[in-house]
Amino acid sequence: MKDTTIIYGKNAIIEALENEEREFNKILISNNARADAKIEQIKKLALQKGIVFQFVAKEKLNSIEPDGRHQGVIAQIAPIKYYDLDEFIEKHKGELSSVVLLDGVEDSHNVGAIIRSCVCAGIKGVIIPSRRGVLINSTVEKTSAGATSHISIIKVNSPVSAIQKLKENNYWVIASDHHAEHNHYEIDYTDMNFVLIMGAEHAGISKSLLKLADYKVKIPMLTNFNSLNVSNATAIILFEYVSQLCKKNNKK
């Protein structure tokens, strides 16, 4: 395997093992790891797929992941497959589709948490710029609890060009902006293709992307405290969409 990355944490490795598209090199398990149900599941899946696993000293895992967040197991794996935007659009033609674009989000934990929320909310894809932001790394995989294996991750060179292409393919553009006039729950998300733009932790959404928004929405708050963490804000908006969808489906 020419290019490898590492993922760590039991849930992330199980999800990757269950994804037919992820290619493994080997799995390292700590000698001190308790033989709990998830470790046993990892061993079982590895045996079924013919993937080598070996037991190593905990110090070996700590040398690979110094912060000690590996939960006693680390996998050497091929890097995630990024989707092309044209490929994504073609794949979801003829159905209502949704995607989240991250404009300069720089914290791997935020990116992982957002991807996890997207999968839970049934979002079809996440767009990440190739520059000015975080690509998929081991921290993103761990924080997402393996959700990166269940959604299309789309890497683009130009977020502006990506938004323009989505607009040309009948996607409505929603931008989260705390200066917006409308609250996030005032939009009907359920009857349109949409792309939700979420901005960087400190800078927010770039002006060039804000100009392309069909809707700008904010999350109302009862105090003047600093705005919400971007991963929390994303979850709030996405689960308004889920709530609307559930109510709509229950009426039928």
Domains for the chain: give ranges and CATH numbers. 5-77 (3.30.1330.30), 85-251 (3.40.1280.10)
Identify whether the C-beta of residue 167 lies closer than 8 Å to the C-beta of residue 212: yes
d(C-alpha 14, C-alpha 144), whole Å? 12
- Predicted confidence (pLDDT) per residue in 103-149, tens digit: 989 899 999 999 999 999 999 999 999 887 788 888 898 899 889 98
The segments of the chain whose pLDDT lies below 70 read: 1-3, 68, 226, 251-252
d(C-alpha 153, C-alpha 57), whole Å? 34
pLDDT value of residue 33: 76
3 state SS of 54: strand
Identify whether the C-beta of residue 136 lies closer than 8 Å to the C-beta of residue 163: no
pLDDT value of residue 125: 97
pLDDT value of residue 3: 62
Among the listed residues 163, 165, 246, the one whose alpha carbon sits nearest the alpha carbon of residue 207: 163
Q: Strands 193-199 and 98-103: what pairing?
A: parallel
**146-181 b/e with 16+ CB inside 10 Å = b?**
bbbbebbbbbbeebeebbeebeebebbbbbbbbebe
pLDDT value of residue 239: 97
With the CA atoms of 156, 159, 165 and 170 taken in that order, what torsion angle do they form, in degrees rounded to the nearest 10? 120
Structure tokens at 116: 């996890």
pLDDT value of residue 252: 52
